[in-house]
């Protein structure tokens, strides 16, 4: 079953983070702890680890995007799995 990894909340006052670099691409296999991307706030830069295990099915943001905390960041699951219900707007393409 596909799982969504969300943008972590780095503090009570942080509302969004800048996605500076992806470390995975579509089709990569990840496990909990695999570094997915680098993010930055006005005070720090950090890596976002995966909380799911499987194949990267969808990257929901581009490098340089400002991503709200707790918003879906990436979808991980089994190759060929229907993820249309997990993609914002229902677009699995």
Tell me the pLDDT tens digit for each residue of 17-29.
999 999 999 999 9
Report residue 44's pLDDT band, with 50, 70 and 90 as the boundaries: confident
d(CA 53, CA 85): 19
Pick the closest to residue 41 from 10, 74, 6 (CA basis).
Answer: 10
Question: Quick count: other Cβ atoms within 10 Å of Cβ 79?
Answer: 10
CA 27-73-14 angle, 5° bins: 150
> What DSSP character marks residue 9?
P
Report residue 88's pLDDT band, with 50, 70 and 90 as the boundaries: confident
Indicate if the pLDDT at residue 35 is higher than 80: yes
């Amino acid at each position: 079953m596909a799982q969504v990894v969300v943008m972590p909340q780095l503090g009570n006052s942080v509302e969004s983070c800048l996605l500076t670099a992806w470390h995975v691409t579509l089709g990569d296999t990840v496990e909990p702890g695999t570094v997915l991307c680098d993010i930055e706030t006005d005070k720090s830069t950090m890596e976002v680890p995966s909380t799911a295990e499987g194949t990267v099915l969808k990257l929901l943001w581009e490098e340089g995007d400002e991503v709200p905390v707790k918003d879906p960041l990436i979808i991980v699951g089994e190759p060929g799995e229907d993820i249309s219900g997990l993609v914002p707007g229902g677009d699995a393409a």
